[in-house]
Chains A and B, each alone.
Chain A
């Protein structure tokens, strides 16, 4: 079991720790609902240092990235980030990721902790053709997500740059909490705004402490992985391993918007065909019409009790108090407003296919 540079800090704060992707991670501190509410209405901090970081440099860096990712990274200017995925050779997804353009010929790929080894092997295999300089810097870098509507105001005193001018999916390399050359990225997995801060492991404790000092008057609190999951699910953001995996295609998962046929990439020919014909099943968002909580793996059934799909993520929405979820259904049931049923133990609970996000910011 690996620790992040802040594991002891979490334990001292009384966090409930769980093993996640090989790391000992805080799942909650005061309780998932309270933490969720803190991020929706105030500001909270997640230690997500388990995430993986690959640095890709050299004259062929862009060519390699264009080959392995589905989105068009040639659109990235320095200081911009892009959500993307790594398609596999058989129609599925190796991982989803964020691509940052750091310099002219240097990019940072941020990948899921559980997929670091798999992604590395995949990218390294394709790099034989490109010979870019690729480095897995995951073990040396930490990541804090400072999220919520008060994040900009609460963190402004920690940096010389104007945080309010960093647009969504843009970033700056600047001073932060007394440390130089920190990546301050206007990204996140919550839908409530804020930043992600990338720094070296030996810098993260100082940053964490100063973030809490500066945020004290804004009621800043530490947030665990449980609330990270309810927050992302209210936005309908995919979670790798639940909603997308090696067997789900980007089109099935609603990730057509990051699948660009402006270039050749892994499996692009087959994916282009799939786009033309349309997938047989689609990932939909649904809301329960009666009390109940959908969970990963529950069957989705039609009015006659026939299985038409599977729930991939589900929870009781802390913001709305209703059961919400994502799941794959046969395409014929995927229209907004479609009536489906979720098999919860012995009962089939009626649900409606809805448009994302579930949660709309006030």
Chain B
């Protein structure tokens, strides 16, 4: 199970990369494995400001659909449009080409509530 040490995580199986006041968000390797073949990622909250844990989109796999929860409060400033044509990047490269959105943070103190790689590993029983 790939859980990069430099990223932060949520119990909803999302990873977060902080760069100044911008957070890049995707789903973890564990999550993509559980979902199976992903057929599209729908994000209809671009330019909206969301509270932490609000639904920012959905990810559809062949067998199931799952909501995506904003790990931090802020504005959805970018959606990874390459997922429109190649949603399978979430399966093949969840921490790279499979990133989903960028959020402009409205309260950077929330970052402290995110999970470390170690803590996330414990949650998934790794």
B84 — nearest CB in chain A belongs to which residue? A291
Q: Binary interface profile of B, 55-70, with partner A (CB < 8 Å = 1, else 0)?
A: 0001010110100000
Q: How many residues of B contact A (CB 8 A)?
A: 11
A28 to chain B, nearest CB (A): 6
Q: Confirm or deny: B30 has a beta carbon within 8 angstroms of a beta carbon on chain A.
A: no
List residues 72-101 of chain B with CB under 8 A from any CB of chain A.
91
Question: Per a CB cutoff under 8 Å, which of A31, A229, A295 touches B37?
Answer: A31
Whether A316 sits at the interface, judged by CB under 8 Å, is yes
**In this assembly, does A184 line the interface, its C-beta being within 8 Å of a C-beta of chain B?**
no
Q: State whether A28 touches B36 (Cβ < 8 A).
A: yes
Q: Which residues of the partner chain A approach B36 to less than 8 Å between Cβ atoms?
A: 16, 28, 31-32, 226
Inter-subunit contact A295/B62 (CB<8 Å): no
The 8 Å CB contact of B60, one of A16, A230, A316, is A316
Are B65 and A33 within 8 A (Cβ)? no
**Quick one: which of B37, B40, B58 contacts A33, CB cutoff 8 A?**
B37
* Residue B16, interface by CB 8 Å: no
Q: Considering only CB atoms, which chain B residue lies closest to A34 in the complex?
A: B37
Instruction: Check if B39 is an interface residue, CB within 8 A of chain A.
Output: yes
Q: Is there an interface contact between B40 and A315, defined as CB atoms closer than 8 Å?
A: no
A293 within 8 A of B: yes
Q: How many residues of A contact B (CB 8 A)?
A: 16
A318 adjacent to B62 (CB under 8 Å): yes
A295 to chain B, nearest CB (A): 6
Give A230 to B65 CA distance when docked, in angstroms: 15
Flag if B40 contacts A295 (CB, 8 Å).
Answer: no
Q: Is the interface of B mostly helix, strand, loop or mixed?
A: mixed
Closest chain A residue, CB of each to CB of B64? A295
Q: Which secondary structure dominates chain A's binding surface?
A: mixed
Could you tell me the distance between the alpha carbons of A230 and B39 in the complex, rounded to whole angstroms?
13
Question: Complex Cα distance A229/B61, Å?
Answer: 14
Closest to A30 in B: B37
A360 at interface, CB cutoff 8 A: no
CB distance from B34 to the nearest CB of A (A): 8
B residues in contact with A31, CB < 8 Å: 36-37, 91
Least distance between B117 CB and chain A CB atoms (Å): 23
A273 within 8 A of B: no
* Known contacts A226-B36, A293-B39, A316-B39, A32 near B62 by CB under 8 Å: yes
Q: Which of A250-309 contact B (CB under 8 A)?
A: 291, 293, 295
Q: Which residues of A contact B33 (CB under 8 A)?
A: 16
Task: Determine the distance from Cα of A316 to Cα of B88 in the docked complex, in whole angstroms.
Answer: 14
How far apart are B43's CB and chain A's nearest CB, in angstroms? 13
CA distance A226 to B37 in the complex (A): 10
User: With A31-B36, A31-B37, A226-B36 in contact, is A316–B62 under 8 Å at CB?
Assistant: yes
Whole-angstrom distance between the Cβ of B48 and the nearest chain A Cβ: 14
Max chain B C-beta neighbours (<10 A), residue from A31, A229, A293: A293
What residues on B are CB-neighbors of A33 within 8 Å?
A: 37, 62
State the Cβ distance, A308 to closest chain B Cβ, in Å.
Answer: 22
Q: A220-245 toward B: CB 8 Å interface, digit per residue (1/0)? A: 00000010011000000000000000
Task: Give CA–CA (A27, B40) in the complex, Å.
Answer: 20
B58's nearest neighbour on chain A, judged by CB, is A345
* Bound Cα distance A318, B33 (Å): 18
**In the complex the two chains form, is B40's CB within 8 Å of A32's CB?**
no
- Check if A32 sits within 8 Å of B37, measured CB to CB: yes
CA distance A31 to B63 in the complex (A): 11
- Which 5 pairs across A and B sit closest by C-beta, in order of nearness? A316-B39, A33-B37, A32-B62, A293-B60, A31-B37
Question: Can you show 13 pairs from A to B with CB atoms below 8 A apart?
Answer: A28-B36, A31-B37, A31-B91, A32-B36, A32-B62, A32-B63, A33-B62, A229-B63, A315-B62, A315-B63, A316-B39, A316-B62, A345-B58
- Taking Cβ atoms with an 8 Å cutoff, the residues of A that contact B are 16, 27-28, 31-33, 226, 229-230, 291, 293, 295, 315-316, 318, 345
Beyond A31-B91, A32-B63, A316-B62, 9 additional contacts (C-beta under 8 Å) are: A16-B36, A27-B63, A28-B36, A31-B36, A33-B37, A226-B62, A229-B63, A293-B60, A345-B58
